[in-house]
Structure 1
Amino acid sequence: MPDDPEHDWQRSGYHQFEIGDVLTRGFAGLRDRLKDVALISLLLIGGPGVIVNASSYITETSNVGGPLLVIVGVIVFIVGAILLPAVLVQIFVRGFWGEHLELDVALRDGMARFWPMLGAGIIAGIGMICGFVLLIVPAFILYCGWYILLPIVVGEKRDPVESLTRSWELTRGYKWQIFAIVLIGTVIAALAGAVMGGIGGGVLGLEAVNMDVSADPIKIFLFASMQSLAGVIGTAVSTAFVSSTYVELLKLKGEYDPDSGAPTFG
């Protein structure tokens, strides 16, 4: 930890879950590694996201090569969407502990945890679907209880089932605060999408927004790029919040003392 901390959450003896401080730490992590976050985000989901967003236009205006490009783009996007949070969570958590993790190392370690992440995501997804089938409320409870699943799978290198159990235990007693953080992250992502959509519609025209085959292809792909950028922003912000919440809960549960050094992560 820094000798002269800039934020209250960096000071020793800080043991109260304050939503504002969790958000502040998350935004600070984004600010400190903005260049690396932007680079890896655009690489893993930004570029493939353009193809996915413009898939209907590509399919309707191209021959066999168009659908093939869309299929490849979708596969790359799905892989990137799983891998990107694994890279970012390492950068953020280690950064909150005063460490600087190089991007290539985070990418390598994230790739090594790809299958456990996928497995944990599938199990959590099935659980939340069942929650929605029964009632909506249980699904939200499960989501908040498994909110910090990612840093546990990636950083603590636990198997999917063990990670789900640990996430549930760490979030015990704090699910309402986590729910508030989820709402804030959702609003930010929605605002990013609305702003990009509004700008796109106003500047590029409704034909581009609707992916009309008669629209200018340049405008189509510009709008698809704006949609992709909105997705990048949403993913980066949500992962920063997850990482910040994870660190906060470790302190609250007595597993992380700023004066005695950070626990093993990654």
Structure 2
Amino acid sequence: MNKEYIEFKRERDLGSIISDAFKFIRLEGKQFFLSILKVAAIPIVVAVASMIYYMISMSSIITEDASAVIGMIGSVFIMMIAYLVAIVFINLAGMYYIKSYIDNKGVVIQEEVVANTKAKFWSFTGFGILAGLILFASAMLCVLPVFYTWPALSLGASILVFQNETASGAVGKCFNFISGYFWEVFGVVFVVSILVSVLGYVFQIPAMIYQFAKMGLSMGSDDPAEVFGFFSDPIYLILNVVSIAGQLMFYSITLITNVFLYFDVNEKKNLTGTIERIDSLGQ
């Protein structure tokens, strides 16, 4: 029995983009996430390990132990770097998985995904830095410009991958690409960001409840170290790891919807998918 194939290169409204994103995860989720883990496992593990070490250090900071302070600062630095590297790999592996899926009509070649992800790492990192600087500058200009730059830059990663652009080339094309479709792009990006934030927040609730419960039980103690001791509590650490894993999983929804949105706008501007389907009829 042939696996159902989802056509990316066609027009979609907001409802179809979201429903098809969940449908893609239902059909391809297992291989999709395994493919991402295959590429991003090391930076994810380093980021999680650094976070755990940071939280354990927090429980020792009250003792004013200099080594604990130095270790905490070092773990924060390593965690930030590893997290950023993990985000780059997650984005690239996810999008190159989709690209291989599209190019091969539902069949994903893992070697392509790994090779393309590694080859595009620095370009995507450069794009991320440029996009971050633009968003920061926009925020400094009375915040309002962010509502224009944010939707445009959200499709930059897709332009980088599916049009094989450089970092500066992707940034340059973003704003022209959404010209005439700004409100549609803004609406989809805004709604999906709220949806993913709410779903991701659900995974944080157990850790937050446990944190407040432990702090409440420790408030009567005269020992400050006991109050901060929950940071090294194994249950609290596990709940935080689960929270991060859940948020990364739901982040993939943003990634997939952005790809659907890119092809939606591209189809309306260039009719690429329609032309390909017409050409295939004569073969």
**Pair 1:184-2:191 in alignment:** yes
**Which has the greater radius of gyration?**
2
The 5 A counterparts of 1:153-232 are 153-202=160-209, 206-207=213-214, 213-215=228-230, 217-232=233-248
- Secondary structure at 2:87 match in 1: helix
Q: Shift of residue 95 of structure 1?
A: 3.0
Match of 1:141 in 2: 148
- The 5 A counterparts of 1:40-55 are 40-41=36-37, 43=41, 46-55=44-53
Q: Normalization by structure 2: what TM-score?
A: 0.75
Which among 224, 233, 251 is matched to residue 249 of structure 2? 233
Partner of 2:88: 82
Tell me the percent identity: 14
Question: Structure 1 residues 122-131 or 32-41, which shifts more?
Answer: 32-41
Does the C-alpha gap of structure 1 residues 99 and 212 become closer, same or farther in structure 2, counting only changes over 3 Å?
Answer: farther
The answer on whether the counterparts of 1:85 and 1:239 sit within 8 Å (CA) in structure 2 is yes
Matched AA of 2:89: L
If each structure's helix is expressed as a fraction of its own residues, which one has the higher value? Answer: 2
Q: What is the identity, as a one-letter code, of the residue corresponding to 1:248?
A: D
Shift of 1:83: 1.6
CA distance in 2, matches of 1:164, 1:131: 14
Q: Is the 8 A contact 1:149 1:163 kept in 2?
A: yes
Q: Partner amino acid for 1:107? A: V
Q: Hey, what does 1:132 align to over in structure 2? A: 139
Q: CA 1:106/1:220 → structure 2, altered by over 3 Å: closer, same or farther?
A: same
Aligned 8 A contact 2:17 2:257 in 1: yes
1:15-34 equivalence runs, <5 A: 15=11, 17-34=12-29
TM-score, structure 1 as length reference: 0.80
- Give unpaired runs (5+ residues) of structure 1: none
Q: In the superposition, relative to structure 1, how do residues 233 and 208 fare at CA in structure 2: closer, same or farther (>3 Å)?
A: farther
The aligned length equals: 255
Match of 1:248 in 2: 264
Contact 1:52/1:73 (<8 A) preserved: yes
Over the residues paired in the alignment, what is the CA RMSD in angstroms?
3.4
Q: Structure 2 regions of 5+ residues with no counterpart?
A: 61-66, 217-225, 279-283
SS at match of 1:157: coil
Instruction: State the Cα distance separating 1:120 from its structure 2 match.
Output: 1.5
**Conserved? CA contact 1:110–1:154, under 8 Å:** no
With a CA cutoff of 8 Å and minimum separation of 6, indicate the structure with the bigger relative contact order: 1
CA distance in structure 2 between the partners assigned to 1:258 and 1:31 by the alignment: 26
Q: 1:92 aligns with which of 98, 106, 109?
A: 98
